[in-house]
Chain A
Amino acid sequence: MSTMMLDLLLRSTWETILMTGLSGLISLVVGLPIGLLLVVTERGGIAQNLWVNRLLAAVVNGFRSVPFIILLVALIPVTRFIVGTSIGTWAAIVPLSIAAIPYYARIAEVSLREVDRGLVEAVRAMGGNRWTIVREVLVPEALPGLAAGFTVTLITLVGASAMAGAIGAGGLGDLAIRYGYQRFETEIMVAVVAVLIVLVCGLQWLGDRLVARLDHR
């Protein structure tokens, strides 16, 4: 492989990591509160509010039911509004984030709901308020699940970011399509796949280690 190709591969890898990392971070910061809201507002939750719950669930489901490739195109005006352009790595972060937020919100919701209700009750019996319950019970007790779910989200984003190549986002997917597929450069295709495998395995390994450290059950 020529130096130029290697250069290209390195740059694409970086672009993928950037897209995955940033949109992952955004999905965590926005998705976790949404997941929390879904759990606390549900029937029997600590801040039961069925209207908020239904509305939020509908929005989350709406975004989740649109295939990513369609979302990518449909969100072009939004992307242009936020980033100023609809082409490139930074532009891809917008649809990636918007797809990942509801995805992670649902995963977080499942983990948070699995927290034993007895623990919530124990803290209520101590005189704790809702915020205390969120801070001392729901989030810390669900942390291993939240971390495992975040790993899944990141790995899904690695895959999704490849699709973002369709709007000229760069990254490994873009590289594989343009060089590996359209130019029949098998070497590049194999290299991209190898890098992706390493990336995904690395993420999973890191995630598993984190979960093991967090899990005291």
Chain B
Amino acid sequence: MAAMVLERPPQVRPAAPSSPPMPEPIVRVVDAQRHFGATAALNGVSLSVDRGEVLGVIGRSGAGKSTLIRCLNGLERLDSGRVEIEGRDITGLHERQLQPVRRRIGMIFQHFNLLAAKTVAANVALPLKIAGVPAARRQARVRELLELVGLANRADAYPAQLSGGQKQRVGIARALAAEPVLLLCDEATSALDPETTGSILTLLKDINRELGLTIVLITHEMEVIRKVADRVVVLDQGRIVEEGPVWQVFASPSSPTTQSLLQSLRPKLPSGIADRLHPVQGESAILQVDLAGPAARSPLIGQLSAMLQAPVRLVHGGIDHVQGEPVGTLFLGVPNRGDAPARAVRFLEEQGARVERLGYVDDDA
């Protein structure tokens, strides 16, 4: 019997007869265009998000990221292009047709958007109420969710009685209530202090890992991307200017936008030294070395010293780990004797680092 079933010719699906056995992306955006007056919020954006992935969209304010994320659940409409959720085109759907789609998508907001007139428990229960879950089951699920976000003891509090971080935890619990396949985070940590931001991001990462929930988040802070995203899309003036795994984009940002967004995370030469840099003379050449991957794992400074037969000193900088990959910037002082600086640059570049000779200082610097 089983053999017979197997031998049956596979049902032909006319739409995709030769589609590869790849898992369908949860989100696919194709050539999205959206204009507000003369300015383009989205100018031909295409991207897809795989199941279980955390996609970070970063850009300055006005880059179009807010419009992009709001297109994913139909809060914003496209002028042209297409948005697919779980393979279904939602672009032309009416408000009423969008409602069941939205029930499968959770969303959290910069300003939390909790209902002030409802308790924490009632806020979390609302998506369940909308989905028609009976009251008894709602209660059990709310308790479970508040447990998950660590607010089980605040069920009867009103949002105004909570701190910012607690409010966002309620927002997360509420977004997860109806067991969504996708979570949208609209600048979810931008109104929080750094410490709280860290704990919210950790919670999001845990949820992604434990529930396998797909997350799309938008932010203007690279730190947020670094902490939770697997892949990053850099948006500038409605266009994608860079895209890739986070550690790769961090290691070798190609677009000026990315580079400037990364500025704040990069070690900079301390101003005390930078001010004393001389363009041509000094006892040490100061090299800025950007490295990632194998180059960042090797004992580079030791090797360089041995090669030059002269001590190389670490002036400033460090190696960070992004998605488990070492990425960093070092500032090295190389003795300015003969062609040592030039040889050092050549050696480091051979190892796969990006090197820039910044200038020279005397060694008491």
Binding site for B on A (CB under 8 A): 116, 118-119, 121-129, 132, 136-137, 140-141, 143, 214, 216-217
Contact = CB atoms under 8 A, between A and B. Distances in A.
B217 to A, nearest CB: 15
B130 interface: yes
Contact of B117 (A125, A129, A141): A141
Nearest to B104: A127
25 contacts: A118-B109, A119-B113, A119-B115, A121-B75, A122-B107, A122-B113, A122-B114, A124-B75, A124-B102, A125-B73, A125-B75, A125-B105, A126-B102, A126-B174, A126-B178, A127-B100, A127-B101, A127-B130, A129-B96, A136-B126, A140-B118, A141-B115, A141-B117, A143-B117, A216-B159
**At the interface, is chain B mostly helix, strand, loop or mixed?**
mixed
B347 interface: no
Contacts of A122: 107, 109, 113-115
Nearest to A116: B113
Given A127-B98, A216-B158, 14 more contacts: A116-B113, A119-B113, A121-B75, A122-B114, A123-B126, A125-B102, A125-B105, A126-B103, A127-B103, A128-B99, A132-B130, A136-B115, A136-B126, A214-B117
A121 B118 contact: no
B205 interface: no
B131 interface: yes
B93 interface: no
Nearest to B184: A125
Nearest to A124: B75
B111 interface: yes
Contacts of B98: 127
Interface in B5-31: none
B160 A217 contact: yes
Contacts of A143: 117
